Structure 1
Amino acid sequence: MKKAWARRALGASIALAVGITVSGCASGGNNGGGGVSGDGEYTGPDVEVTFWHGWTGGAAPKIVPELVDEFNAEHDNITVKAVPQEWGDIAAKMPLAIKAGKGPDVAVLHGDDLATYAAQNLLLNADGIVEGLGYTADDFPPGVYDKGNYDGVQYAVPWSVTPLGLYVNKEVLAQAGITDIPTDQESYLAALEALKDVGVQGEWVDGYVFTGTFEFESLIWQFGGELYNEDVTEATFNSEAGVEALTWMTDLVKDGYSPANVAQDGNIKALLANKTAFNWNGVWQTTNEAFDGLDWAAAPVPQIGSEKAVWSSSTHWVFPSNKGQDENKTEAAAVFVKWMNDNSLGWAETGELPAANSVREDPALLETYPNLQPFMDELEYARYETVAPGITEANAQIQLALADALSGKKTPQKALDDAKAKADQILEQNRAKYGD
C-alpha cells in the first residue's frame, strides 16, 4: 500500500518553527467539556469535529465515509466531518493550519511523523485522553503504543499496523519440488538453490523503499543490530549487523538468486507473472486483486539472523493543538477515536491490521480475512518506526545505501558508512532545528 509512504518526499520534514503551547485535555470534565470516560461517552454540548486523513483514491474510498456516517448516526451530540487529502498535502498544510487555529480536531499520522509534530508543539498532550479512555500499552501489539510517546508524554493512540511478510508463488515453488514454505536461513537458501537449479531466480531484491529498505531493516534487527543509538543522536546501521544484512541482500544478486538492477515494483510483478517464488512485501498486498487466480500463500518472513524481527509501519490518532482549540471538540474527538478503534474490524479490507488487540482477537477477523494470519503472528516481534523529530530525512540515507550496494557501485560497508555520515549530519541538524 504505497500510498502510505507516497507523501515521504513532501513530508519528510516539517521545518516550521511554530510557537503553540501544548496543553492537556482533561478526562473528567474539568476543562469545561462533558468529559471522556472509559466507555467512550461524551456528554458535552453539540459539536462538529473535523477529521483529516490521507486515505484517498484507491486507499480506502468506501470504508472511511461508511464508518464516519455510522458514528454520526449513533451520536446525537457529535458530528464528524472527514476531510480526505493526500498525505503529502497534510504534511504541507497541517502545521500552518494548526498555528492559525484552523487545523483539524483529530487526525491520523504515521509513526515516523509523530515526534516531528510533537517537538513543534503541534499536538495536544494526550496523557489525560488516553487515561480517560482506559487505554494502556497492553491494548495494542508490543511496542507500537510507545511510538506515540515523545519526551515522556503520550501524544497518540494507535490505529493500525502494517508488518512485512513473505509472499509465495506456490506454482513456481513447486517447479523446484518444494511444498514447504521456508522459515529460516537454511531452508530459505535451500529453496533458492533448488529454484536456481530449475532456472528460477527465487527472490528479486531491490534497492527501493518498497521493499528493499523494509527487508534490510528486518534483517539488521534479525542480526542483532539497530538503526540508531538509544537517544537517536547517531546512526548505527553501518554496524557489523548492518553490513551482514546488506551483504545478505547483495549476495542474492551475486549468487544468482536475484537478477541485478531490479526495477521498482519489479519483484512483485515478477511474482505475479510466475517468474519468481518469493517477495518480501507488506500486509497491504493481501488486498491486491492481481493475486486473484494465482496459487499463492503468505507467511512470516524467514528468520535469517539469530533473532526474530520484522519491519512494520504504524498509524496513530492525534489531537492537534490548534490555537484556541475548543476543548469540547477535543473530548468529542477522543470519543470518535475510541469508537473507531472499537469498530475497526472492517479496516482490514484496506490492507492494514487494526491496532486494537480486542478487534484482532475477534474470530470474525480471520474468518473474513484469512490471509492476515501470518501477519498477525508476526506482531509479537514486529519492530516499528524510530521516534525522533525529522527522522524520515535520516532514514532516506538507508535507501541510498541499498541502491549503491545492490548496483555494485559500493561495497555494503562503504555504502553504509557513507550513508551513516550523511545521516549523522541530518540528526545534528535536527537537534538544532527541533531542540536537543
Structure 2
Amino acid sequence: MRTRPLRFAALAASAVLAFSACSASDGNGKAEVTLWMYPVIKDEAASKKYWARTEAAFEKAHPATDLNIELQTFDKRDAQISAALAAGSGPDIVLITPDQAATYNKVRGLLPVDDAVAGRRKAFHPETLKAATFDGELYGVPVFQNINTTAYNTKIFDDAGLELPKTWDDVLKAAPVLAKKDIAVMDYAGSTEQTLNLSFYPLLWQAGGTVFSKDGKDVAFDSEQGVSALQFLVDLKKRGGLPADAATEGPAVEGAPIAEGKVAMRAVTSLPELQQMRAALGKENVALGLPLQGTVQATYGNPGLLSLTSINEDENRDAAYDVLAYLSSPEAQESLNAAAGTFPTRTDVKAPGTGPDFEVLNEALDHANPGEPSPAARQVMAALAPSIQAALGGDLTPKQALKKAAEEARALLARS
C-alpha cells in the first residue's frame, strides 16, 4: 500500500474507511493508476459495463499502464475523499465538483494537471477550465458537464397571445397578463435546501454580478448587480408573476404548480425536468429556449472534474496525465455523453442527441457558468438563502437582505 506523510492536517477525518491500495507499479513494470468514479451513469449495471470497457480500451492503447477504475457512491463522498487524502492512500485521480476542487486545493490535496491538456486548452469551453483554475494553475480536467436552460409551457403563452419571454423585461411584462388568469409567469425554488446555483445565482450572473470577488477573498453578491437580480424577483412577485409559495418552494416538477399548468415557465431547467414537464403537460406544449437575458445571458452548467490527488507519486505522473488526456478526448466525451446524457466540455464535441432540444442545449453551453468555486461556497449559500426568503416575504428590501447576508458571509470567510 502506498502511503506517505500528509503535508496537511486539515483533512484528517474521523471516519474509519477501507481504501483500495494504489501503487506506482503493479510488479510487472507497469505504472498503476487508480481512479475513483462516481455515478455519472445512473443505471448501476450500465455504469459497470461502461467503465469496464473504458478501462480495457485505455489499457489497449496504453499497454504500459494498468488503469483501475473503482466505482463509488455519492453517499459521504466528501468524507471518503478527505479521509483518503489524510491517510495518503486511495485514488490517484478522483471525480469532483468545482467547489470540492477549491476546498481540496486549499489544503494542498490536489496536484496541477496543466500538462494533461497541454496544446489542447483551446478545445475546451473556457468556463469549464476556469472552474478548476486556482492561482493560475489547472487542478481538474473537465470531462463532462450538465447544462440548464429555460423551459416554456407554450400553450399558456399561445392562449394569452404572448410571445415567449426571452428577457427580464419580457417576463415582467407578461406577469400581470397571466396573473389575471391565476397563472404565474415563472417559478422559483426559494427553499433553503435548494442550491442557489439553480435558483438565485443564474439571475445574479444575468445581472452581470458575481458571488465572490475576483480574488475569492470577499463576497460580491451585495453589489448593485446583486440588488438588481433580487429586485427582479421581488417585482415579479408583486405583479403576481411567482407562485405564492416561491420563497419556500423546492425544485420538484411532479406535483408542483408548473406540472399543473399554473406556472408558464421555468428559467433554470435540466433535461430530466424537461422530460417530466412533457409527461405532465404533453410533449407538444413544452419547448426549450436559451437562458434568459438581463444585462447578459447566463445559466448554470456544472462540469465534472477529474483531479489528480496528492497521493499520486512522481514516477506515476505521466501515466496519470495519459489517463486524464484519454478521458477528456473528443472520442471519450462523445461516448460518455451518449451513455450518461451529459454534455461536452469541449467545443469540438456536440450534444448527445439531435433535434431542437439538443440544438438549444448545445447553444446554451456558450452561456454556462460553472459556479464560482470557493472552499466557503456552500456556507455562503446557507447565509444568503434565508435573506432572499426575507426579501420575497417583504420583511427586508433587496438591498437590506443582501447587506445582511453579506455581513454573515464575510464573518464566515474571516473564520475560514
For this structure pair, what is the TM-score category when the shorter chain's length is used for normalisation? 0.7 to 0.9
Q: Residues 29-81 of structure 1, C-alpha deviation per residue, up to 9 Å, x if partnerless?
A: xxx99xxxxxxxxxx9435532223317x835355434322223322434543
1:251 aligns with 2:235: yes
The residue that corresponds to 1:204 in the other structure is 187
* Cα distance in 2 between the residues matched to 1:274 and 1:347: 35
The residue that corresponds to 1:8 in the other structure is none
**What displacement does 1:427 show?**
1.3
Q: How does 1:56-135 map to 2 (within 5 A)?
A: 59=42, 61=44, 64-74=47-57, 75-76=59-60, 77=63, 78-131=65-118, 134-135=119-120
Question: Mind listing any 5+ residue stretches in structure 2 that lack a counterpart?
Answer: 1-7, 13-23
The residue that corresponds to 2:137 in the other structure is 153
2:357 to 364, 371, 378: 371
Q: Residues 253-284 of structure 1, C-alpha deviation per residue, up to 9 Å, x if partnerless?
A: 22111222232135663222322210122434
Give, as a single letter, the amino acid of the residue that structure 1 aligns with 2:404.
D
The residue that corresponds to 2:292 in the other structure is 302
The residue that corresponds to 1:173 in the other structure is 157
**What displacement does 1:321 show?**
1.1
Asked whether the 8 Å contact 2:178–2:185 carries over to 1, the reply is: yes
Q: How does 1:257-406 map to 2 (within 5 A)?
A: 257-262=241-246, 263-265=249-251, 269-285=256-272, 288=275, 291-292=278-279, 293-294=282-283, 295-303=285-293, 305-322=294-311, 325-327=312-314, 329-341=316-328, 342=330, 343-348=332-337, 350-360=340-350, 365-367=352-354, 370-406=356-392
**What displacement does 1:88 show?**
4.9
Asked whether the 8 Å contact 2:253–2:276 carries over to 1, the reply is: no
Give, as a single letter, the amino acid of the residue that structure 2 aligns with 1:355.
T
The residue that corresponds to 1:229 in the other structure is 213
* Cα distance in 2 between the residues matched to 1:408 and 1:216: 17
Asked whether the 8 Å contact 1:54–1:87 carries over to 2, the reply is: yes
SS at match of 1:226: coil
CA RMSD of aligned residues (A): 2.9
Alpha-carbon distance change, 380 to 282 in structure 1, aligned in 2, over 3 angstroms: same
When the two structures are superposed, what TM-score results if normalisation uses the length of structure 2? 0.81
Q: Residues 190-249 of structure 1, C-alpha deviation per residue, up to 9 Å, x if partnerless?
A: 333332233312212231364765342222222232222221222121122211111111
Asked whether the 8 Å contact 1:48–1:79 carries over to 2, the reply is: yes
SS at match of 1:318: strand
Give, as a single letter, the amino acid of the residue that structure 2 aligns with 1:114.
A
Give, as a single letter, the amino acid of the residue that structure 1 aligns with 2:333.
S
The residue that corresponds to 1:192 in the other structure is 175
SS at match of 1:52: strand
1:141 to 96, 121, 125: 125
Alpha-carbon distance change, 266 to 17 in structure 1, aligned in 2, over 3 angstroms: closer
Q: Percent identity?
A: 23
The residue that corresponds to 1:37 in the other structure is none
Alpha-carbon distance change, 107 to 64 in structure 1, aligned in 2, over 3 angstroms: farther
Question: Mind listing any 5+ residue stretches in structure 1 that lack a counterpart?
Answer: 1-14, 20-31, 34-43, 431-436
When the two structures are superposed, what TM-score results if normalisation uses the length of structure 1? 0.78
Give, as a single letter, the amino acid of the residue that structure 1 aligns with 2:54.
F
